[in-house]
Structure formats: C-alpha cells, structure tokens
Amino acid sequence: MDIPQEQMQEVGFFGIYKESFKTIFSWKKIFTQITLTFILPLSFIFLAHFIVVDILDWNINRHEDRIDNSNVKSEHLYRKLSSAWIGYWIFKFIYLTFLLLFSLLSTAAVVYTIAALYSGNEVTFKKVIKIVPKVWKRLALTCLWIYFGFFIYNMVAMFVYRVWETTTTDTTFAIVVLYVLIALYCVGFVYITALWQLASVVSVLEGCYGLKAMMRGNTFDQGAKVVIMVRVLGAILHLCGHLDTVFRVRVARAYWANSGAGVRFSTNEPVPYRLCCANNGLSCL
C-alpha cells in the first residue's frame, strides 16, 4: 500500500473517510486485534463511567438531602457525605488514568500501523505491541503539553469573559459581543484539538515530542489542518455527542429501571438527576 504523497494530497475531505474504510477492510485482522486490545477497553471505560458516576452522584445527593432534612446535624451524616465525595474523586482519578492510558496506547498503535501500511512495510500485531511501549512515553509528554495549553487557553477565556461581564450592560450589542467571543473560543478549541492530533502523529512517527512536536505539527500544510479541524468538529465531537446522548437515554436509563430504583427509593430520596434528564429526552453533560 505504498501510495505516492502527491496522490494522498489530492484525496480530499470525503476521500479521507473512503481511504480509511478501505484500509481497515483491507487489513481487517490487525485492526480487529488493535480494536479488541486497545479501542474496545477504551470504549468500555468511557461508557461504563456514566453509570458509575450516576450511582455516585445519587449517593452524594442522598446524603446531602438527608442532612438538609435532618433537624439534628449529625456528625455521622457528614462523615458519610465526606466518604461519598472521597469515593467520587478516587473513581474520577482511576477513570481518567485508565482513559488516558488506553487512549495513548490506541493512538500509538493505530498511527504506527497506518504509517507502516502506507509506507509499504510489513506490519504484524506482534510488531505493533513491541513498538507501542517505545513511543507512548513521547505521546504522553505531548499530551501533557496539550493539556497545559488547554489550561492556559481556558484561563484566558475565563479572564476575557470576566472582563465582558464586568464592563458591559444588558444590551443587544453586549449579547452580540458575547456570541462572537463564544464563536472565537470554539474555533480556538477545535484548532488546539486538531493540533493535538497532528502533534500525536509526529510524536509517534518522529523522535520529537512535547512542545517541539506541537511546533512541528503547526508547520503542516494549512489545508491539512483545516481538514482535521472539520473532522474533529464534525466526526469526533458530533459523533461523541450523539453516542453520549444515546447511551444515557437508552442504556443508563434501562440500568436504573432494571435495578428497581423506582421501587427501592423512598419519596424523600432524590432520583438521579441524569435519569430525570434522560426521561425528558435531554443530554446532561
């Protein structure tokens, strides 16, 4: 599958998806192995955490409701609430750790496999397993730099919003300015996400990582960056949003219904707020 670079540059936006499906179905065995080893656990972790977070949220809300409705402020209730919050943050830490780990491993595996296939090199799953541990550290450092960039970007965005909030009044012009700022923030967010994708590829295929990989990815052709930005906005964010909504409405609601939550909870105990949103056909983030 050694395709000339000039031909790949003329593939276009929809051609990327066509070429992707063609590559996957042409090498079904190795991509199936990568999916079962890295991507499937990543998907399971991502979706399963919704149910666990719902349970932890309900538990926290239950203890808070009991404290609010109790005439005597019991130390026992506060200890239970503190334990519930500690359990929540411990789970969040474990979830984010495994999510980041499998995300890095799956990214490294897919990028290396695609690069090897398109360069005409022989690639096997055993070779991928040997290469992934060698490149994932570079990929992790690049991701840390990207996270730092997102943190700075959001801090600046919050500062700008605070300035808008304190210097404007409730007028039509102020609302228009707010919508313009939101649009600019979304464009910047998608651009950084696209840069993340490019820097990840550079980190896997080249020896650089971190800030150097980000700078290297930023030097790519503007057309390639625009295509990736559109792909991030249209394929990743949009698809993940629908997947999130469907899972919450169908799977999470079915879980609570089958668990007998409606029978077991007393009238004084709050029903999980995400379940209420699901019953109303809403997506709760």
Closest CA to 116 of 197, 195, 34: 34
Question: How confident is the model at residue 166, as a pLDDT?
Answer: 87
Q: Which helix (H) or strand (E) holds 53?
A: helix 40-69
**C-alpha pair distances (Å), 21 with each of 108, 114, 211:** 19, 12, 32
Closest CA to 253 of 226, 282, 228, 229: 282
Annotated domain spans of the chain: 1-123+264-285
Question: How confident is the model at residue 278, as a pLDDT?
Answer: 37
Question: How confident is the model at residue 237, as a pLDDT?
Answer: 57
Please tell me the distance from the alpha carbon of residue 30 to that of residue 110, in angstroms, as a whole number: 10
Give the CA angle between residues 42, 47, 52 to the nearest 5°: 115
Question: How confident is the model at residue 199, as a pLDDT?
Answer: 83
Alpha-helical runs (H) found in 119-264: 125-167, 172-205, 211-218, 222-231, 238-246, 253-258, 261-264
| Polymer length of the chain | 285
Please tell me the distance from the alpha carbon of residue 61 to that of residue 271, in angstroms, as a whole number: 9
| pTM of the predicted model as reported, rounded to 2 decimal places | 0.64
Question: How confident is the model at residue 226, as a pLDDT?
Answer: 58
pLDDT tens over the chain, length 285 residues: 545 555 555 555 566 667 778 888 888 888 899 889 888 888 888 888 888 888 888 888 888 888 777 766 677 778 888 888 999 999 999 998 888 888 888 888 888 888 888 777 778 888 888 888 888 788 888 888 888 888 999 999 999 999 988 887 778 888 888 899 999 998 888 788 778 877 888 888 777 788 888 887 777 655 555 555 555 555 555 556 556 666 666 565 555 555 544 434 333 343 343 433 333 333 333
